[in-house]
Structure 1
Amino acid sequence: MSYSVGSPLDTDLEFTASELAGALGDSVTVLPLLVALGATTSVSLPHVLVGFGVFQIIWGIYYGLPLSVEPMKALVGLAIVGTLTYAELAAAGLVAGGVLLTVGRLGLVGRLQRVVGEPVIRGVQLAVALLLLEAAVDLSLANVPIAVAGLAVVGLLALVGYRQASVLVVLGLGGIAAVVTAGVPTPAVPALTVFPAGGPSVSAAALEGTVAQLGMTLGNAAIATALLCGDLYDRDVSPDTLATSMGVTCLTAIPVGGVPMCHGSGGLAGKYAFGARTGGANVLLGIGYLALAVVAGGALLTAFPLAVLGALLVVVALELGRAAFEPVADARSLAVVAGVGVVGLAINVGVAFALGTVVFWVLSRQRE
């Protein structure tokens, strides 16, 4: 049974079990980072979840596709390890948002796509897949028996033809375990306020983080995501439009307690892998994030066994890795894809993006 409504881009929004499963498949790439951020910084997790909920709904309806709305991983990762304070994280996100809005409106990302070359973008996809797989291993090591049990459930349900349902079952079991550990949470609506209290703080660390993030965002969240929209959904979405919507998201959410957010090929692949085909998945996930926001002030999310999310993250990583290699045919392109992926895993996705672009340009000149 499903319910459909028209979206602004003439694509129906469906609300089915598959859309719900796809929505939850995307959450496995987001929730671990958000929980870690809330636990290690002064960020208000309820306010962050409100931002994610609102913009999941907005962009799901606008695009009519299950586009991912996820944390800017480079910036959030630097905040989690203590390199950036919350004030510096906010400043970096605002600068990144301003740059993305500007280049998107000027149509510069599309020009960059033509210069960079498809193998480089496929390599960025592979790098993100490898990073997600690495994160899955790290999360799983926190509780190996639970991670193995989660993978066993996913594998068993996939074998009998219910891979989409596996995410619902595994996340449901994890939620039950969290309630048993932390107790039933008391709902509380987040207060309307502005974070951080002292305002954003521009620093050298914030600007360095912004440069690294923009390299990753332009390669993965704009260009690679636009490419994946065509691969998975047969939809022509401009990377400039994606850059613009990411800029709007950051500039709007951060002043009221949100964190830097972007689209991403990993989250889009995650939604597809678990069955999402329309923006209805975003609406369902957005409602879920808003519901979590009223209980996230307690210990519920902290008590959630992250090893369970690690098991599901493996599925997402494999789907994105497959999408990176599948359309590539010649040996040179395969070498570029693999090289960018490995450098992105070992060093930084932004560095891999830049080096890959240079290598692709040199190879292209040799062919001429």
Structure 2
Amino acid sequence: MAVSTVERVEERLPVAVGDLTGALGDSVTVLPLVVALGALTPASLAHVLVGFGVFQIVWGLRYGLPLSVEPMKALAGLAIAGALTYGELVAAGLLAGGVLLVVGATGTLSRLQTVVGRPVIRGVQFAVALLLAQAGLDLALGDPAVAAAGAALAGVVAVAGYRRAAALVVLAAGTVWTAVAAGVPAPALPAASLFPTGGPALTVGALEGTMAQLAMTVGNAAVATSLLCADLFDRDVSPDRLARSMGGMSLAAVPLGGLPMCHGSGGLAGKYAFGARSGTANVVLGVLYLAGALVAGLWLSFPMALLGTLLGVVAVQLGRVALDTDHLPLVGAIGLLAVATNVGVAFLAGLGYWLARERWLA
């Protein structure tokens, strides 16, 4: 007997408590970054949250897995730190989306992975962590007492054994503070239009940001996520298929005011750790993001010093991942060079060194 559409959906989206709690696993890094972008750049937080909400639901239904939908961290971090303008972020997001769509369609992702060594990817992650830490410190110095209170709260959460949730707890505390001080705005739908807060600016900086992001995406978002799908869920989801998803998602979202987005392995692992086992977690989180978009104006008055603490916590989390390597000197050199120059220069220098090293050793 043929299986009905309803039965197929129920099989793909079972209702379980773990999927409800697991929905929070992906928001641990997403919300702190997007709130910071909304507060520090022209990005419309309402449009950004709609993009995340829609694609959480889309991929939950499409894959039946709790796939992560995260901002492209290199681009988001560079924009928050002021190393990319909003127009450059838009242009880089479109470029990265186009490249991912092409490499996914042509099956060339695995070959790209062999060119960009994992230590170079870790170096880019470390560079973004340093830039976020620098931006966070600048904000925290505006009101050291508030920043210190936020840091203490994050420390307590980490010591209690919930290190990954520390940034989310600080964000929640700041949100409550803002709601009490400024009130909750009336719900409002974001207007639908092309490039609602500014169009793309194709510059050298945008090209450099694209290269840095692709270095992270190839290793962390595509290949590592594919491996996790097999390890955690016994599902064969190829890196090229994930690349096509990320490319199409970014090309669709960015012109409508969203962010360039990817499937991060950290977010998938986070959802799994919180109990998610199916695409139901994505649907739940997508609905929450869409609800948050209605009151996105709440975060416009978020305390800047506390936002500095938030960026510091995210920087520490990203830095811990970046330093998990056997090539610390190279990772550190790429990070420091990025702070001294820019991420694009540091990435190219690190890649050049890695290719020369591999050729010499061969």
CA distance 1:189–1:200, change in 2 (3 Å): closer
Partner of 2:300: 302
Q: Of 300, 314, 317, which residue of structure 2 is paired with 1:316?
A: 314
User: Please, which moves more after superposition, 340-349 or 172-181?
Assistant: 340-349
Spell out structure 1 runs of 4+ moving beyond 6 A.
Answer: 230-233
Which of 23, 27, 31 is the matching residue for 1:23? 27
1:269 offset after TM fit, Å? Answer: 6.4
Q: Give, in angstroms, the shift of residue 166 of structure 1.
A: 4.6
Write out per-residue CA displacement over residues 154-197 of structure 1, whole angstroms, 9 at most, x where no aligned residue.
22233334546655543332112111222221111223333349
* 2:65 maps to 1:69: no
Partner of 2:262 in structure 1? 263
Q: Show the counterpart of 1:220.
A: 216
Counterpart contact for 1:109–1:223, Cα < 8 Å: no
Task: Report the Cα distance in structure 1 between the residues aligned to 2:125 and 2:92, rounded to whole angstroms.
Answer: 24
Whole-Å separation in 2 of the counterparts to 1:345 and 1:324? 15
User: Is there any run of 5+ residues in structure 2 with no aligned partner, and where?
Assistant: 1-9
- In 2, Cα distance between the equivalents of 1:50 and 1:356? 36
* Mapping 1:93-242, distance limit 5 Å: 93-163=93-163, 166-167=166-167, 169-196=169-196, 200=199, 205-226=201-222, 228-229=224-225, 234=231, 238-242=238-242
User: Are 1:60 and 1:67, in contact at CA under 8 Å, matched by a contact in 2?
Assistant: no
Residue pair 1:126, 1:338 contacting (<8 A) in 2 also: yes
**Alignment map for 1:32-43 (pairs within 5 Å):** 32-38=36-42
C-alpha spacing 1:232/1:159, structure 2 compared with 1 (3 Å): farther
Q: CA RMSD in A?
A: 3.8
Asked whether the equivalents of residues 120 and 351 of structure 2 are also in contact (C-alpha less than 8 Å), the reply is yes
| Offset of residue 91 of structure 1 | 5.1
CA distance, structure 2, for counterparts of residue 106 and residue 23 of structure 1: 32
Change (3 A) 1:218 1:53: same
Tell me the SS of whatever aligns to 2:352: helix
1:342 counterpart residue number? 336
| Offset, 1:336 | 2.2
Name the TM-score, length of structure 1 as normaliser: 0.76
What displacement does 1:220 show? 1.2
CA distance change for structure 1 residues 78 and 307 in 2, over 3 Å: closer, same or farther? closer
- Residues 226, 237 of structure 2: 8 Å contact kept: yes
Following superposition, the deviation at residue 280 of structure 1 comes to 5.9
Where in structure 1 are there 5+ consecutive unaligned residues?
A: none
Change over 3 Å in CA distance of 1:217–1:259 after alignment to 2: same
Contact persistence 2:116–2:215 (CA under 8 A): no
Deviations 1:278-311 (A, max 9, x none): 4666544433331222122x4x211112433433
- 8 A contact 1:126–1:341 mirrored in 2: yes
Q: For residue 352 of structure 1, what is the aligned residue in structure 2? A: 346
How far did 1:78 drift? 5.9
Q: Distance in 1 between matches of 2:308 and 2:227?
A: 26
Q: Percent identity?
A: 42
Task: Select between 60-69 and 185-194 the one with higher mean Cα deviation.
Answer: 60-69
Q: Which amino acid aligns with 2:257?
A: G
When residues 111 and 194 of structure 1 are mapped into structure 2, their CA distance, relative to the original with a 3 A threshold, is same
- TM superposition shift of 1:30: 2.2
Q: Give deviations 1:33-91, integer Å, cap 9, x for gaps.
A: 122223xxxx54422321122123334555634524215754895699697575x7655
Asked if the contact 1:344–1:351 (Cα under 8 Å) also holds between the matched residues in 2, the reply is yes
1:47 aligns with 2:47: yes
Residue 355 of structure 2 corresponds to which residue in structure 1? 361
Shift of the 227–193 alpha-carbon distance from structure 1 to 2, 3 Å rule, reads closer
Could you tell me how far 1:144 is from its partner in structure 2?
Answer: 1.9
Q: Shift in Å at residue 141 of structure 1?
A: 2.6
* Amino acid aligned to 2:344: G
Counterpart amino acid of residue 316 in structure 2: L
Q: Normalization by structure 2: what TM-score?
A: 0.77
Name the count of aligned residue pairs.
Answer: 345
Q: Quick one: distance in 1 between partners of 2:290 and 2:313?
A: 25
104-113 or 346-355, which deviates more? 346-355
Task: Tell me the equivalent position of 1:272.
Answer: 270
Cα distance in 2, alignment partners of residues 351 and 156 from structure 1: 38
Contact kept? 1:92, 1:207, Cα under 8 Å = no
Contact 2:133/2:311 (8 A) holds in 1: yes
